[in-house]
Structure 1
Amino acid sequence: MAISDVATAQVAPQAQAQTQAQTQAGTAAPFPSPTIALPTLDVQAQEPANTLQRGTGVSRLPGTVQETPQTINVIPREILEQQNVTTLDQALRNVPGITSSIGEGNGGVNGDQFRIRGFNAQNDVYVDGLKDFGSYTRDAFNFDSIAVLKGPSATTFGQNNVGGAININTKTPFLGNSYGGSLTGGMGPLYRGTIDVNRQIDSTTAVRLNLMGNYNGVVDRDKVDSGRFGIAPSIAFGLGTNTTLTVDYLHLEDRRTPDYGVPIVTAPGQTVSRPATEYGLSRKNWYGIDLDRDDVTADRVTARLRYVPNDWLTVTNDTRFGYVTRDFATSPPTCDATCNALFFSPRSALARVAYSGGISPYHQETWGVQNVTTAVARFTTGPFRHETTFGLDGWLQHDERTGYAYNATRTNTLVNPSHANGIYRIVAATGANMRETDQRYIGGFLIERMWLTPQLSVIGGVRVSNYDIDYKTYGNGAATTLISSNDTFADPRASLVYEPTSSQTYYFSYATSHSPPGSYITTLPATFTAGNSGLSPETNTIYELGAKISLIENRLGLYGALYRIEKGNAFVADPISGTITQSGDEQRNQGIEIGVTGLITRDWAITANYTHMDSETTKSSTAANVGKRVQYVPEHAAAVWTTYEALRDTPYQFTLGGGITYRGQVYLNAANTAEVPANFSLDALISHNFGERRQWRVAVNGYNLTNELNYDSLFGNRAIPSAGRTVLVSLSAVY
C-alpha cells in the first residue's frame, strides 16, 4: 500500500518545532538570548532527510535525535511511503535487532509482539508518547513516522523497556489544505485504499481525516488473510500560537486469521531442532481450522495540550483513553516425539500435530486511561545553563476475559493438514473461565541537563514508580481466587555529552528499568500466579558509548554506539505453556550499532543500519545454560534502503529504490537446542510522478524477490514462514 496519502511536505509548525528543539537542547546556540514567538505562516516545509536533525517525537525528550544521548532509529514517512508499508511489523524491518514473537495463544500474544535486542517489548509500543492499550496488529494508514529508542528507558516511559521502546507519531492537522488518496493491488491477493484530507478552518485551526480499507492474503501461506477498516479524524486548535490543543480519534476493525506457523522438529542424528519447512515440509501449510479467528475492534481518543507561556517554559499535558475488544481462537501446532519420528520416516503422511500452549478460545475486553504532564524549563544559574524536565505519569488498565473450550481434542496431519471444522465446536469452558485484572501505575520523573561549558553537558535523572495489580479468577462453580502485588522502584539515568559543534555529539549514558511481576498479564496470564506474584522485579541496566555526526550541511547523518545491557532476576517462559517463573538467571547483550541516514546527493537518499550483538546467559539455575546465547538474539542484523530520483524536474522523472533486510540465525530457547536460520530479503521499487504538478504517483514494489524461505515470527517450538515473492502496484494522488 502506498502511503503517499499525505501531502509530500509537512508544514511550518513541524519545521519550526525542530528549530525550537535545537535551541532548547542547546546546540543551535550555546547560550541563546530570549526569543519572541511569532505566528506560523502557512508555508509548507519538508522535514530533514537526515533523521538525526528531527525531533524525538516525545515531550519528555526535548531536542533532536542528534542531541539525545541514546541510539534512536527513525523510520520517516518518506520510507513508509516508498516501501508501501501497511503494518507496524513491516515498518520495523528497517530497524536491525528487532524480532517478532508469536507467543502462546491462550494469553493472546499475537499481533504486534516485538523483541528489541532480544528482550520482550510487548508492552513497549507507544503512540505519540502514550501507551497504546490492548494487543492487536497496528495498521500504518495513520502513521507519520516511527522511532525506536533503544535500551532501558524507564525515566522516559516507565516500567519495562528492556531492549527499548517503539513510538509511533501519527498524522496530525496542519495549516493548509491537502487532499490525498491511494489504491493498491497485487499478489496475496491484496486490495487496499486510503484517503487523507486536511482542511484549514481558520488562521489557527485545522482538521484532518484518514480512512483505510484493506483485504490481504499472504503469498505462500494457505488460508491466512486479514480484512480491516480504519478511520482517524483529528482537529487542532491554536496552530502557530503559544497554546495548541490536538484531539484525535482512532477506530480500527480487524478480522484476521491467526497464523501460528509450523512446528519445530529434530532431524535424525541432530541435536538442534529447526522448522519442519527446512526439511521439505511445504511453506504453505497452515494448521488452523475454520473456527480460528482473531477479531479485534480498537477505539482510542487522545488529547494533547502544549502551552508555551514564555521563552523558558514549555508545558504539555497528554491524555488517552483506549478500549479494545478481542475474540480469539487459534491452533498452535506442536510435533511430539511420535510425530517427529514419523515425519522423518517413509510414513511421513501419518505424522500428526497436536495443539498445545493456548488452545482455549476467549473473548477479552481491555480499557485503559493515561495522563502524562510534563514541564520543560530552560534557565541559567551563574555561568551554567540548565534544561530541566519533570512531570507525573499515571495510568489505569482493566481487562476482563471469558474463556471457552473446544468440545473435542483437536489434531491434524503434519504433511497435508485439513482445515474443516469437523466435530469441533466452541463451548463454555469448565472451571475458572473468568479473569479480571486491574493495573494501576503512577510515576514521577525529574531529568536535569546542565551545560558546564557551551560544549560539555551532564544529564542526571530519576523516575520513581509504583505499580499495583489485582488479578481475579472465577466462574462455573470454581472458587474465586485473588492475587495482588504492589512494587515501588526507582530508575536512574545519567549521561555525559560533548558537542564540539552543533553537528557533532559524543556521549556516554547509563540507564535502568524494572519489570515487576504482572507486567505482561494482559497478553500472558500465566506470567502472574500465586507462586510468582511475590517475586522481585526484573532489573535491567544499559551502558552506551556513542557518537552522532551530521555532514554535508547536515543533509547526511552518521551514528554509532557501543552498548551493554545487563538483565537480572530474569523471567523464564516455558515454551509449551507460556508459564513464567523467575530463575534468578542473569543475561547480557553487548554489541555495536552503526548507521547512516539522509542525502548523499540531492537525488540519492540512503538509510542503512547494522548491528552486531554478543549475547550470553551469565548466570542460571540450569547450569547447562550458562554461556549460551540469549534466545531470539541474532549475532548480526542489517537493513539498507536507498533510492535515486532520476530526471528530476522533467516529465520523465522516475525513482529507483531497493534494499535488503538481514537477520542472522537465532536460538529459540535458553538451552540453544532449537534454532531458526538466517533471514534475507531483497526488495525493490520503481515509481513515477506525473501530472501538471506531479501530484499523481504510480509505483511498483517487489518484496523478497529471490523468494527466500524466511521466518517472520518466532517462538520456542514454532516459527511462521514469511511471504514468498510478492509484487504490488499502487496509484496515489495528492492535491
Structure 2
Amino acid sequence: MNHSPVRQPLRLRHLDTTPAASLQRSTLAMSVSAAMLLVPLAPLSALAQTAAAQGAATATATGPGGEQIRQLGEIVVLGKRVESNPNAEVGAPYKARTSGDSRHTRPLAETPSTITVLTKTAIDDAGVTDLKQILAAQPGITLGTGENGNAFGDRYIIRGQEARSDVFVDGLRDPGMSTRESFAVEQLEISKGPNSSFAGRGTAGGAINAITKQATLDHDFTRFSAGVGSDSQKRFTTDFNKGFGDNFALRVNALYGDEDVPDRKPVSRSRKGVAVSGLVEVNKDLAITLDYYGLRTSDKSPDLGAYLTGTLPYRVPAKDVPVYAQSSDFLKSDIDTVTARINWKLAPNMRLTSLTRYGTSNNAYVTTGASAGTRYDGATGAAYTTGYIDGGHSGWQDVDYFAHQSNLRLDTTLGGMKNEFIFGVEYTNHKVVSGSYGITNGAAANCRSVSTTSPNPIGANNAWCFTASNGTPVANLANLAGRSAIRAGKNQDWRVKTVALTAMDTIDLTERFSAFGGVRADRFDLDLVRFTAATGAVSGDYGYKDTLVNGHFGLTYKVAKDVIAYASASTAQDINGGEADSGTNSGYGGAVLYQGQIAGAKPESSTNLELGTKWNLLNNQLLATAALFQTTKKEVMEGANYDTIGTFNTGKNRVHGLEIGISGDFTDKFSMQAGAAVMKSKVLGSAVATNVGNPLSNFAEKSYSVQAKYQLTDAFSFGAINRYESSRCGGQPDTGAGFTNGMCSQPVPSFNVSDLFAAYRFNKKLDVRVNVLNVFNKDYYTAVYRSGSFLYKGDARAVRVTLNYEI
C-alpha cells in the first residue's frame, strides 16, 4: 500500500492522559494483542500533544470537589497511516523496531544476533504472497526440492542447513510440510545461525517465525484489497479491526486467491483463508486473545519445472520444456489452528505471556517428474532423444499437534545492574501419520525404455514420451499416461513429545556493556512406527528418549548512542529421525537405523560464532547491520540413499561468511529493505571420503536482495526489486554437493531477476498498486534434485494490479 501523508484520525481512548497511565495502558494492549513487546509510544504521544496544542476541541467539567477537569475531544494527527503492526518503527514501515517474540526483551538494534525482519508493508509492496516466494528472495536462503519427489509444502535452506521443519508461528513450531501464505502475517522474522535455545531441536541454520495479525484496541480500521492480473490472477483480501468499548476487540482477515502459474498454464494455484482474532482486556493488567486460523491451498497440475540435460561440462537446463504435469496431479494443504493467548501483568516488574495451540493440517500431493534421454520405438527399435515422464510421486500427511508455551518476564536490579529475566516452560505433542497414493496409468505407453532385464529395444512400449520417434509432439500431454491415483493406507506414524525449560537474562553490566545469556533443556520422546500400507501390519517400531541442552551468549558494547558492536555464540542440536516427512529414508533427514534400532547416536550439534555491528541511524528511521559468522555442524548422521541403514555421527561441515543488511527510511521519501550474504561451505568429515572438501548441496555462495521505494509526490510512489543468487550444486543433504572429476554434477545456474512496482493514492481512502514481476521475463531456476530430474523453475513475467480501499 502507498503510505503517502494523509489525514488519519487517531482514537485516544483513555481519559487518564498522564504519561505513566498512557504508557501502562498502551503497553498492555499492544503486547496482549500480538503477544509482542513494547511499541515505541513517544513519537505518537508527541504528535498527539502537537495536535492538541494546535487547536483540538476541548471542554471543561466540574468534578466532585468543585475542581475543573479539562477533557480533550477527538484529536486528529497528520501523518502516515497508523500501522497495525505494533513492532514496526513509527514512520518507517520497512523497518521493524522490535521482535514479535517476547523473549527478545530489547529492540532489534540492540539484539546480539542476525535477525532479518520483513514487515507487512515491505511484503505488500513486493507483490508476492506465498512464504516460499517471499523467503526465496532473501540473502542466505535457498530452496530445496521435494527430495525423491517429496512435494510436501515449502522447503527452505538457511546458511546451507535444512530448515524445512524450522518454521514457527508466533514462537510455536508449525509442524508438518504445508504450503504457507502471508495474508494473516504482520511480519516475518528470519533468525540466522543455530537457534535451539529459543526454538528447540533442529534450527541448525536458523529459524523462520511468522508473526500473525492480532486484534487491537488502539485503533479501528477496515481495509479491502482487490487484485487482478495476467495469467487469470485474482486476489481479494480484507483486514477488519473493531473495538467494542474499552475491553473487547475483534479482527478478521479473509483471503480468496486464484491464478495460473505464469507461462505454465494449465498449472494453477488457489488460496482461500480466514483468520479471526478476539481480544478481551479483563482489566488493566490481564488480557486474553483467542485466534482461529484456517487455510486451504490447492495447486492443480503442480509443475516440477524443467530438468538438466547433457553431460559435463555441458550439463544445462533443458530449453522449452512443455507443461508435462498430468491432469490428475495435485498439491494441497488444509490447515486449521486455534490459539489462546494470555498476557498478565502480575506486578509492575513481572509479566506472564502464555500461548496454547491446537492444530491440524492435511497435506497431500501427486506429482509427475520428467527427464530427457534416449528412448525407442517399440515397433521398430529406432532410437531417438526425447523428454519423458516418470512413474509419478505421491504422499499424504495428516498432522495433529498440541503446544503450550509460557514465559515469565521479571525485570529487577541485582548488584546495581538491571536484569531482564525470562523463565519459560514449553510442552509439545506433534503427531504425523503419513502414506502414499496408488498411481495407475490408464493410457497406452507410446515409447520403450530398455532395461537390464529386457535389453532388446523392440517389444511392448513401457514408457510415456513427449514425442514420437519421428519427432511429432504428443497431443494433449496432460493426459499422456491417463493417470489416476487412490489414497493408500498409512505407512508411518511419527510422534515427538517434548518438555522444555528455558532461562534467559539480559543484563546491563555498565552504561555501555550489556550481556545476554540463555539456556534451554529439551526432554523429548520419539516414537516412529512403520506399517505395510497394503495390510496395515507393523513393519518396524522404533523409539528413544534423550535430553538436549543448548545455549546462547551475547555481549554488546555501545560504541555510540545508536551504534553497537557485539559478539555472540549459540548452539543447536537435532535428533535422529527428526524429519517427519522422511521416515526411514536416512539420506534425507529420516531415521538412521543400526541393527534394527534407532537409538545409539549422539544428537547432531551446531555451534555459531558471530561478530557484528548494528547502526540505528537517522533518528531511528534506518537500521544497518553487518556480521561475520562461522557455523560448524558435527556429529552428523549420514544416510545411504533411501535406505534405513546409514552411519551414526560421521559427518562434519562448516559455513562461514559475511552478511549485511539495511532497512528503513533514508529520507521521508526514500525507503529500502536490502541484504547481501557472501558465504563459503565445506564438508570437513564424512564416511564417504570423496565428500570431504566439497561444498554443501543447494548452497549459494553469494546472494543479495534490494527493495527500494521512492515517494515522488504525496500521491505517487514507485520502486524496484533486484535479487541475485550465484550458482548452486545439487546433492544429498549434509553429505555435500555431487561432483564428478572436480565439476558439479547437477548445476543450477546463477540468476538475477528484477521486479517493478508503483502506487498512486487517489485520496485518503483509496490507492492502487501495480507490480510487474520478473520484468525482463528471465528463465531462472531455484533448486535441483540430486539426479537433475527436477529443476524448479521460477515464475515468468507477471503483472498484478491491486486496488486498496480503507474505511
**TM-score class normalised by the smaller sequence:** 0.7 to 0.9
Q: Which deviates the most, 506-515 or 174-183?
A: 174-183
Q: Structure 2 CA distance, aligned partners of 1:365 and 1:506?
A: 46
- What is the alpha-carbon distance in structure 2 between the residues aligned to residue 9 and residue 555 of structure 1? 23
Match of 1:403 among 436, 449, 472: 436
Map of 1:591 onto structure 2: 657
Match of 1:684 among 747, 756, 768: 756
1:75, 1:94 within 8 Å by CA — same for their partners in 2? Answer: no
Alignment partner of 1:133 is 2:175:
yes
Q: 1:529 to 1:288 in 2, by over 3 A?
A: farther
> How far apart are the structure 2 equivalents of 1:217 and 1:2?
27
Match of 1:381 in 2: 414
Q: CA shift at 1:577, angstroms? A: 8.0
Partner of 1:210: 253
Structure 2 residue aligned with 1:37: none
Match of 2:61 in 1: none
> 2:298 touches 2:332 (CA, 8 Å); kept in 1?
yes
Q: Within 1, Cα distance between the matches of 2:307 and 2:684?
A: 29
Tell me the distance in 1 between the aligned counterparts of 2:350 and 2:413: 13
When normalised by structure 2's length, the TM-score is: 0.80
2:591 corresponding residue in structure 1: 528
Residue aligning to 1:354? 390
The equivalent residue for 1:704 is 774
Aligned to 2:165: 123
Matching residue's letter, 1:312: N
Contact 1:50 1:556 in 2 (8 A): no
Deviations 1:4-28 (A, max 9, x none): 9xx99999659966884789xxxxx
Q: Cα distance, 1:323 vs. partner?
A: 0.4
Pairwise mapping of residues 566-645 of structure 1 onto structure 2 (< 5 A)?
566-572=632-638, 584-645=650-711
Equivalent position of 1:298 in the other structure: 335
Looking at structure 1, the residues matched to 433 and 364 of structure 2 have their Cα atoms a distance apart, in angstroms, of: 12
User: What residue is the counterpart of 1:663 in the other structure?
Assistant: 725
Alpha-carbon distance in 2 for matches of 1:637, 1:589: 15
Assess if the C-alpha contact under 8 Å between 2:653 and 2:682 holds in 1.
yes
Q: Deviations over 1:194-242 (max 9, x none)?
A: 1111111111321011111111111122432112211111101129932
Deviations 1:226-284 (A, max 9, x none): 122111111011299322222111111112133222223333xx2474432xxxx215x
Closer, same or farther: CA 682–578 of 1 in aligned 2, 3 Å: farther
Check 1:215–1:303 CA distance in 2 against 1; reply closer, same or farther (3 A cut).
Answer: same
Aligned-pair Cα RMSD in Å: 3.0
| Code of the aligned partner of 1:168 | A
Counterpart contact for 2:558–2:564, Cα < 8 Å: yes
Native 8 Å contact 2:169 2:212 kept in 1: yes
SS at match of 2:663: strand
Give the distance between the partners of 1:558 and 1:82, measured in 2 at CA.
Answer: 21
Aligned to 1:170: 212
Match of 2:465 among 392, 413, 417: 413
Whether 2:775 is the aligned partner of 1:730: answer no
CA–CA distance in structure 2, aligned partners of residues 700 and 581 of structure 1? 53
How far apart are 1:603 and its partner, in Å? 0.8
Any residues of structure 2 matched to 1:301-380 within 5 Å, and which? 301-335=338-372, 338=374, 349-355=385-391, 359-380=392-413
1:448 and 2:505 aligned: yes
Q: State the Cα distance separating 1:687 from its structure 2 match.
A: 0.9
C-alpha distance in 1 between matches for 2:561 and 2:348 = 21
After superposition, residues 106-121 of structure 1 pair within 5 angstroms as 108-121=150-163
How far the C-alpha of 1:492 sits from its partner, in A, is: 1.8
Q: Aligned-pair distance for 1:477?
A: 3.5
User: What is the identity, as a one-letter code, of the residue corresponding to 2:364?
Assistant: D
Describe the SS at the equivalent of 2:598.
coil
1:102 aligned partner: 145
Q: 1:414 to 1:69 in 2, by over 3 A?
A: farther
1:84-143: per-residue Cα shift (whole Å, max 9, x none)? 23111222244211112222366x443221111121111111111112232211121111
* Deviation string, structure 1 residues 274-305 (Cα, Å, up to 9, x no partner): 432xxxx215x333212211222110111111
Which sits farther off after the overlay, 131-140 or 412-421?
A: 412-421
1:654 to 703, 709, 716: 716
Aligned to 1:425: 484
Question: What secondary structure, in the 3-state scheme, does the structure 2 residue paired with 1:92 have?
Answer: helix
Q: What CA distance in whole angstroms lies between the structure 2 residues aligned with 1:103 and 1:579? A: 21
By how many angstroms is 1:365 displaced? 1.3
Q: What is the one-letter code of the residue matched to 1:330?
A: T
Query: Equivalents in 2 of 1:690, 1:167: separation in Å?
Result: 35
**1:539 maps onto 2:605 in alignment:** yes
Give me the identity figure in percent. 25
User: CA, structure 1 residues 349+188, in 2 after alignment: closer, same or farther (shift >3 Å)?
Assistant: farther
C-alpha distance in structure 2 between counterparts of 1:575 and 1:275, whole Å: 24
Looking at structure 2, the residues matched to 10 and 121 of structure 1 have their Cα atoms a distance apart, in angstroms, of 41
Q: Is the 8 A contact 2:130 2:181 kept in 1?
A: yes
- Between structure 1 and structure 2, the one with the greater Rg is 2
- Whether 1:476 aligns to 2:534 is yes
Q: Aligned AA for 1:202?
A: G
Give the unaligned 5+ runs of structure 2: 12-25, 42-73, 377-381, 446-461, 468-472, 732-736, 740-744
Assess, with a 3 A threshold, how the Cα gap between structure 1 residues 86 and 349 changes in structure 2: closer, same or farther: same
Match of 2:14 in 1: none
1:7-406 residue pairs with structure 2 within 5 A? 20=38, 45-46=82-83, 47-48=88-89, 49=92, 54-104=97-147, 108-175=150-217, 176-238=219-281, 241-257=284-300, 258-267=302-311, 270-271=312-313, 273-276=315-318, 281-283=319-321, 285-335=322-372, 338=374, 349-355=385-391, 359-406=392-439
Letter in structure 2 aligned against 1:83:
A
How far apart, CA to CA, are the structure 2 residues paired with 1:456 and 1:294?
51
Q: Is the 8 A contact 2:126 2:721 kept in 1?
A: no
C-alpha spacing 1:93/1:425, structure 2 compared with 1 (3 Å): closer
The answer on whether the counterparts of 1:272 and 1:674 sit within 8 Å (CA) in structure 2 is: no
Conserved 8 A contact 2:252-2:275: yes
Distance, in Å, in 2 between the alignment partners of 1:479 and 1:566 is 41
Q: State the distance in 2 between where 1:413 and 1:216 align.
A: 28
In 1, Cα distance between the equivalents of 2:144 and 2:126? 23
Tell me how far apart the structure 2 counterparts of residues 3 and 552 of structure 1 sit (CA, whole Å).
19
Cα shift readout 1:497-552 (whole Å, capped 9, x = no counterpart): 11244522211110110110121124555212544722322111100101101111
Shift of 1:581: 5.8
| Contact kept? 2:375, 2:383, Cα under 8 Å | no
Per the TM alignment, residue 393 of structure 1 is displaced from its structure 2 partner at its CA by 1.4
2:478 partner SS: coil
Tell whether 2:574 aligns with 1:515. yes
CA–CA distance in 1 between the matches of 2:240 and 2:662?
Answer: 33
1:675 correspondence with 2:713:
no
Change (3 A) 1:50 1:733: closer
Change in 2 beyond 3 A, CA 1:452/1:698? same
CA distance in 1, matches of 2:784, 2:718: 33
Contact 2:368 2:389 in 1 (8 A): no
